Structures are given as structure tokens and as C-alpha cells.
Amino acid sequence: MELLRSHPAEPYRPDRPLLGNSICAHAGNFVTRNATQTTGSMACELRPGASQYWFTATSSPCLSVFKPVTFPPPALDLGPAASTYHPDSFWWRHERLHREVLKDFANRKAVIEPERIAFQSECLQKAAATDSQGLAALSAASFERHRQLIDTWTEAVRLQPVARKAQLVFRHYWGRMDRRVGITEGTN
């Protein structure tokens, strides 16, 4: 999972590299990185009779949490699958958080990182201690808890002043993308 969250160098500045040379990819300009955005991540532990599947169901795995999912998957309420912003969509709620973090990546990521790491650890530990019968309930509970954390994190990130603005081209790119999908300043 950590590999799927990795960037080529730390401290990472998504507004700097022109090439899509990061496993955890953040789009950033109209020329070379328009199509390099990570839109979802999955990790699988394949073992005879006891495979485990993990999904973010979000973009930007570096800001997200892999949650356990069984097959067949439980009925998860992830909201509508929408091509433009919808406040009830799990993916779009997280994408709103991602776009807030991009305004000052290192400083704003630091706001959520300790709690994100703790929740990821909690998901891993609970999945390891849960039998196959309980995994569907754990999956649903993990997604619901992550939804709550996304809302909390988004508000906390918004309160963090932007100390190091991203480059102008990057800010322009994301402003245009926000307008295209209906995300405006203060969107809930």
C-alpha cells in the first residue's frame, strides 16, 4: 500500500514535476500531466482460501486509506457515481479534500497525516483479527468511518493557512478543473 502512495522525492511538490513519474499521481497541467491523475487504488493479498482485498475508492492514495473489501462486496453506500461534483459521492468528497490539500501540499497534508496513518493501521489490525464472516461488516464500518474523517479533515485543512502557494500554472489548472466539475470555494 505504501508503494501506491509513493512520490519520486520528498518533500513532494505536485506542482513541480512535468512528467507523470510518480506512482501516486496528481495531475497538474494541460500539456503533459492532464491524464496522470490516480483515480483509485487497490491492493490484494492473494492466499489460498483467505485472500484480502483493499480499496481506497478515492483518488490520491497518499491522502487516503485502504479499506478492506470482500468478494462479493457488501452493499456499500458510496453515494452517486457522478462525473461532476456531488456532495453525497464518497469519491467526490475525498476529491474535494485532495484539491484543498493541493493548495499547499506539504503543510496541508501534515494536518491529516497522523490521523490518516492511525486509521490505516486500525483498518489493517481489525481486518487481521476479523474472520471471513465479519469482514463485510468491517468493510461497511471502515467506509463509513472514512467518510466521517474526510469531512473532518476537509474542514481542518481549510483552516490551515496556505503558507507555500503552488505554482501559478498548477493553480490555474486546478481552478479550471474545479469550475469544470462544479467545485467552488467553500463547496461542502
Residue 33: what pLDDT? 58
Does the pTM exceed 0.85? yes
Residue 183 CB coordination number (10 Å): 19
- pLDDT of 187 higher than 70: no
pLDDT tens string 54-100: 999 999 999 999 999 987 777 888 999 889 999 999 999 999 999 99
- What are the residues whose beta carbons fall under 8 Å from the beta carbon of 58, sequence distance 6 or more? 40, 64, 90, 91, 94, 95, 98
Q: Centre a 10 Å sphere on the Cβ of residue 150 and count the other Cβ atoms it contains.
A: 22
Q: What is the pLDDT of residue 95?
A: 95
Give per-residue pLDDT as tens, 127-181.
999 888 899 899 999 999 999 999 999 999 999 999 999 989 889 999 999 999 9
The cell numbers describing 158, all together, are 481549510
Please state, as a whole number, how many other Cβ atoms lie within 10 Å of the Cβ of residue 188: 8
Instruction: Report whether 15 contacts 28 (CB < 8 A).
Output: yes
Q: Tens digit of pLDDT for each residue in 7-48?
A: 887 778 888 766 667 788 888 776 665 667 778 899 998 888
**In terms of Cα–Cα distance, which of 56, 94, 113 is closest to 183?**
94
The pLDDT assigned to 10 comes to 73
Residues 6 or more apart whose Cβ sits within 8 Å of residue 118? none
pLDDT of residue 149: 98
Average pLDDT estimate for 116-137: 93
Cis preceding linkage at 72, omega within 30: yes
